[in-house]
Amino acid sequence: MHVGKRGAFIVFEGCDRSGKTTQSRHLSSVLTSKGVDIKQINFPDRTTTIGGMINAYLTNTQDLKDEVIHLLFSANRWECVDSIKKDLLAGTTVICDRYSYSGAAYSAAKGVDFDWCCAPDRGLLEPDAVFYLKANLDELTSRGSYGEERYEKLDFQRKVGEQFDRLYAQRSSYWHLLDASKSLQELQDQIAAVADGVLQQAAEQPLSTIK
Ligand code: Z5A
Ligand code: MG
């Protein structure tokens, strides 16, 4: 990448098992093989102290009020904001597996007020592109039964999907809706085709923050 041009901030979002981890890793390796400087990250980042508290909650070893865990998820993003910014400004493209929108979708699905859920993430970096992997839930459960973590229940995932749709409707200019039931190869091709344009556009634009 040309010196002085910033990297792109690319996020993958969607319900459980929609293929975020698979596709974000694949895009990272495709772009790396093209010579793009890439950093792959994911949220929650369970390696920090706050991430440890989140992990205890998700694995059902600790109960927390809905508002408390929501703020911890947001704090877990805030503790990474400086390092993401530094990488982007140094020309590294950051590919992120779940971000702010998972925060709003999962908490609002529990009945926490949607605007309240969005508020703590205002001021975080806004992605240049979000790949939203959406499929009907029967399709996703056929990829193996949900595991033991707190949110891995069908009814709850349905509500999460509705909240992701709501977020997408408000942000369709930079969200790319993908049919997660397509084959790995079809999705990889579709994502790679969009990503090239995202990298070029981001290089010409200043970073922006979530309003
Ligand atoms: N959470 C929250 O509440 N608030 C927040 O702010 C944040 C998160 C950031 C942990 O997340 C939980 O935290 C999560 C949301 C909540 N809730 N739950 N449960 P996580 O990211 O650690 O969850 P995960 O278990 O790593 O990822 P995932 O969402 O369950 O799956 P995925 O990454 O979307 O899917 P995958 O691992 O890529 O693929 C799943 C399987 O399907 C795998 O066997 C693949 O080989 C297969 N697959 C993938 N794509 C395809 C296609 N196209 N065809 C066929 N098979 C496929
Ligand atoms: Mg994953």
Per residue in 137-179, pLDDT tens? 888 888 876 777 888 888 999 999 999 999 999 999 999 999 9
Alpha helical stretches, state H, the chain: 20-33, 49-58, 66-78, 81-89, 100-109, 114-118, 137-141, 154-170, 184-203
Alpha-carbon span 172 to 142, nearest angstrom: 28
Please, which pLDDT band fits residue 3 given cuts at 50, 70 and 90? low
pLDDT value of position 203? 97
Ligand nearest the Cα atom of residue 149: 1
The set of protein residues with a Cβ atom below 6 angstroms from ligand 1 is: 14, 16-22, 43-44, 58, 73, 98, 102-103, 106, 143, 149, 151-152, 183-184, 187
Tokens of 5: 């041009």
| Ligand 1 atom with the shortest distance to the CA of 14 | 34
pLDDT value of position 139? 85
The type of residue at 134 is K
Task: Evaluate if residue 1 carries a pLDDT over 70.
Answer: no
The type of residue at 116 is W
For 49-72, the pLDDT digits (tens) are 999 999 999 999 999 999 999 999
pLDDT value of position 141? 83
94 contacts 10 by C-beta, under 8 angstroms: yes
Q: What are the C-alpha distances in Å from 130 to residues 6, 54, 63, 99, 102?
A: 17, 23, 31, 9, 12
pLDDT value of position 2? 46
pLDDT value of position 28? 98
| Ligand 1 atom with the shortest distance to the CA of 97 | 21
Mean residue pLDDT across the chain: 95
CATH superfamily of 9-203: P-loop containing nucleotide triphosphate hydrolases (3.40.50.300)
Tokens of 137: 């839930």
- pTM greater than the 0.85 cutoff: yes
For 87-141, the pLDDT digits (tens) are 999 999 999 999 999 999 999 999 999 999 999 999 999 999 999 999 888 888 8
Alpha-carbon span 156 to 99, nearest angstrom: 19
Task: Evaluate if residue 26 carries a pLDDT over 90.
Answer: yes
> Is the four-CA dihedral 125, 126, 127, 133 of positive or negative sign?
positive
Alpha-carbon span 12 to 177, nearest angstrom: 10
Percent of the chain with pLDDT over 70: 98
